[in-house]
Amino acid sequence: QQQVKQSPQSLIVQKGGISIINCAYENTAFDYFPWYQQFPGKGPALLIAIRPDVSEKKEGRFTISFNKSAKQFSLHIMDSQPGDSATYFCAASTGGGYNKLIFGAGTRLAVHP
Amino acid sequence: NAGVTQTPKFRILKIGQSMTLQCTQDMNHNYMYWYRQDPGMGLKLIYYSVGAGITDKGEVPNGYNVSRSTTEDFPLRLELAAPSQTSVYFCASSYLKSGLYNSPLHFGNGTRLTVT
């Protein structure tokens, strides 16, 4: 119940296209859903995050869509660019206690020119 | 403005050897963490610390030890290296608990460890 399932494992998109990465969870106590972006040779960095009281959050070309009833959330990258090529991790946590982040397995995105 | 600094960047160990992965942060964060990253497995929490002198186990603590004598430093110790510990190790810090909305994790650039 503590897992976060992420798909696809890898994704190839043409420049200008839309990249979509999906995550699903079981624990209804999760109340914080961030996405981290990791470039080769670097540590992950927070990209965007959402709380379950909203269904969508947009920051520039990056949008999180959240479906509480389906227990799913997704990252959409509009007008994908080669510079977006990276590994993306979704994560989730609960607000109580220590609230450790549970990470998905990651999606390796390649945006071809 | 260094953030989280990890050393070394790469290391090869023989089975049974010991080593310490170093981690230091200059953001005065109370919370620090060690993760390992394996292909297709995401990030798994090894140990974490909520402040100097306080540490606790994460999801995968076996074979590792940590200490936190200062706010800045959080070294990870491997006592008897095993091939299963071949991985990329990331240290991270946060101002507040990592699961809070306004408390992102700040990661170092990792240590790639190979045990043969």
- pLDDT value, residue A21: 98
Residue A93: pLDDT band by 50, 70, 90 thresholds? confident
Q: Which of A52-65 are b and which e, b meaning 16 or more Cβ less than 10 Å from the residue's Cβ?
A: beeeebeeeebbbb
Given this model, what pLDDT does residue B110 score? 97
- Distances in Å between the alpha carbon of A15 and those of A2, A76, B85? 35, 14, 38
Quick check: B109 contacting A, CB < 8 Å? Answer: yes
Q: Which residue in B has a C-alpha nearest to residue A48's C-alpha?
A: B104
Find, among A28, A19, A26, A24, the residue nearest to A6 by Cα. Answer: A24
Predicted local confidence at residue B104, as pLDDT: 86
Rounded CA separation B25/B72 (Å): 5
* pLDDT-derived band at A82, boundaries 50, 70, 90: very high
For position A100, what pLDDT does the model report? 77
| Chain A partners within 8 Å of B100 (Cβ) | 32, 95, 99
What values do phi and psi take at B84, rounded to 5?
-65, -10
Q: Residue B44 and residue B30: Cα distance in Å, rounded?
A: 20
Cβ contact (<8 Å) for A43 and B42?
A: no
Nearest to B107 among A43, A99, A105 (CB): A43
Per-residue pLDDT averaged across A56-82, rounded? 96
**Which residues of chain A lie closer than 8 angstroms to B40, CB-CB?**
9, 105-106
Residue B19 in tokens = 């080593």
Name the pairing type of β-strands A107-112 and A10-14. Answer: parallel
pLDDT at A109: 98
**A95 pLDDT higher than 70:** no
**From the list B56, B58, B90, which residue is nearest A43 (CB)?**
B90
pLDDT over 80 at B99, yes or no: no
